[in-house]
Chain A
Amino acid sequence: MGHVAVVGIGQSRFGIRSDASLRELAFEAVKACLEDVGVQLAEVESMVVSVASDELSFALQPSAQVTDYIGFHPKPSFRVEAACASGSMAVRAGWMNVASGLADLVLVVGAEKMTEVPTPIATEVLGRAGDSLWEYPFGMTFPGYYALIAQAHMAKYGTTEAQLAAVAVKNHYYGALNPYAHMRKEITLEKALSSFVVASPLKLYDCCLISDGAAAILLASEKVAKRLRKNPIWLRGLGLGTGSLSLAHREDLTTLGASVEAARQAYDMAGVGPKEIDVAVVHDCFTIAEIVAYEDLGFCPKGEGGPLVEDRQTYIGGRIPVNVDGGLKSKGHPIGTTGVSMAVEITKQLRGEAETGRQVPNAEIGLSHNVGGNGQHAAVHVFGRDKE
């Protein structure tokens, strides 16, 4: 199979974007992406769109809104879905499109508009990302699932609420430096620890934001990539794992098996291990999720995720900088957009184009980790400055 490169990146500002509709958000990202590489839409052969929720977008086939608004028809476009990992599924489908030889230049777009419904309705819709028949009817919410994971992790490994809060403090610190982030403000440990309880032990600042936003990347075959850009970033490894629908069916509640499997595949394909990763974005929908991700991705031994962040080892200058774009926590989490936005961020880091204060020096290999639901799907992608 041929190599696949990221040649263009773009994203909209995340936030409560009452100024823009779903299609307008997608347009912002697509325009920025095409301008980033100097490609006309007419040259793009195919498109993959990720919008996670019909209910939040008040539409069936919301991707048609995107293709129509940017004027893409009659060329091929389709939509993919895996809840909060939808964006990474789009990146994967885009990679397959190029690697198979079906197209040389493929646009991957993620877009989500979450703030048009009141928060209890969004809570309701997101709660059904788990087992909608056998867990959600008890009143389960999305924070509820991760709260169950957090309690189990704290009991088994002694992870503390202060360690959870340390994730939020770090991600808000970097989010404040990211002009595209939803909540650009730093928070203190005390503020995080004293915020109200959403689902014990998770408090307000342990939870990611409900955001609007879009992101786009342009993928190219080796032949076309070399024509478009001197130093493209290569999508070197892809992993996709799945896990049980019911959280209750997990043998170990302190790990996401889907993440472990996805990481194994991605590291194998890229021919690297966790020690070679210079910068990572991981799925911090809740602070506990980032701690579990450190462990599942092999950034530290099992159970040592809490101390890793507490010792500031996931800041720039530490052992492995994680979510220096603010993460889902501060940058925001428009669910279908997140996986694509992760690819944008890692490409930006590997190009050395991140904003002052949040660029990891000389990053050569980067990783994205994106979870759907509470581990029903997980995708890990490895990017590099070199193609192998």
Chain B
Amino acid sequence: MSEAVYGAKCTACGAVSYPRHLVCPKCRGEAFQPAEIGGEGVVLTYTDVYALAIDYDVRYLRLAIVELDGGLRVTGQLLDEEPKLGKRVRTTVGVVRETAGKAIYGLQFVPA
């Protein structure tokens, strides 16, 4: 598996933002280097979405906001049969949606 998700590391203060903004949310710096996003973190909140939009042929989708170690907060799909707020998870990258025959890759979370 070679897919990865990248955010932006501010060259002035080192803070990583995701997705990339025009200016660094921490120090207002304007120069960035790509930085791979991922690792371990904790589930801040999650939901099972049953009333789905188009493109999905599953009963529900489990979505979460996770705070990664280091403080970055990311949204993604939670692949965990026993979800709990505060539970430790780690990121993977997988197909989160298929639309018009094209796969969209994004962050997923599995138990750490």
Binding site for B on A (CB under 8 A): 119-121, 123-124, 127, 131, 133-135, 137-141, 143-144, 147-152, 155, 196-202, 246-249, 253
Contacts and interface: CB of A to CB of B under 8 A. Distances in A.
Nearest to A204: B51
A138 B54 contact: no
User: Which A-B residue pairs are the 9 nearest by beta carbons?
Assistant: A147-B47, A124-B53, A139-B61, A152-B45, A248-B73, A151-B45, A199-B49, A200-B48, A144-B49
B72 to A, nearest CB: 9
B111 interface: no
Interface of B: 18-19, 25, 44-56, 61, 63-65, 73-77, 85, 96-97, 104, 106-107
A131 to B, nearest CB: 8
Given A120-B53, A151-B45, A253-B44, A139 B77 contact: yes
A248 B50 contact: no
A150 B55 CA distance: 26
A246 B17 CA distance: 12
21 contacts: A120-B52, A120-B54, A121-B54, A135-B75, A137-B97, A139-B52, A139-B55, A139-B56, A139-B63, A139-B96, A141-B49, A141-B53, A143-B49, A148-B47, A149-B45, A151-B47, A198-B49, A200-B47, A246-B19, A246-B75, A247-B65
Given A137-B97, A139-B96, A249-B73, A196 B50 contact: yes
> Which of B63, B97, B106 has most chain A Cβ within 10 Å?
B63
B57 to A, nearest CB: 11
A298 to B, nearest CB: 24
Nearest to A151: B45
A138 B76 CA distance: 6
Contacts of B56: 139
Contact of B49 (A134, A140, A247): A140
Contacts of B61: 138-139
